[in-house]
Amino acid sequence: LIGQISKLMNRRINELLKNEDISEFNAAQGTIIYVLSKQGPLAIKDISVQTGLAKTSLTSMLDRMEKLGFVRKSENENDKRSTIIELCDSTVGYGQVLERVSEKMNEEFYKGLKAKEVERFEATLEKILRNLEG
């Protein structure tokens, strides 16, 4: 069920992006842009934690996003083995659009559920997440 929901959510996010006249990036790339717009520059490992994307997938995705001019990479001054990712100036404006898309997705996702149901559901998902993280 979680896999099916994930696929449908990504499909719906892509539709919502298209409705916002955004065709430059997909749902996964939008998630990265959203996280960076909320939290500022982050190390790749932190982006991985925030997005749930595997580092290997994330690294190749970030390479493509850098070539497209969405993000830029720099050396982490505190840890030379780590790379910092930040949004390019031209990408910063997408944060507000992605916020709207996120709000719309949440409305659709939780439609018909009461606040207590949402609370219990999210608590259960957090338990599952902790279980899988080991």
| Predicted pLDDT at 85 | 96
Give the pLDDT of residue 16. Answer: 92
Predicted pLDDT of residue 38: 92
Q: DSSP string spanning 65-113?
A: HHHTTSEEEEE-TT-TT-EEEEE-HHHHTHHHHHHHHHHHHHHHHTTT-
What is the pLDDT at residue 76? 82
Q: State how far the Cα of 62 lies from the Cα of 58, in Å rounded to an integer.
A: 6
Each residue's pLDDT, cut to its tens digit, for the chain (134 residues) gives 988 998 999 899 999 999 998 888 888 899 999 999 999 999 999 999 999 888 888 999 999 999 999 999 998 887 778 899 999 998 988 988 999 999 999 999 999 999 999 999 999 999 998 998 87
Model pLDDT, residue 23: 85
pLDDT at 37 (0 to 100):
93
Helix (H) or strand (E) holding 43: strand 42-43
Could you tell me how far CA 36 lies from the centroid of its own chain?
Answer: 9
pLDDT value of residue 92: 85
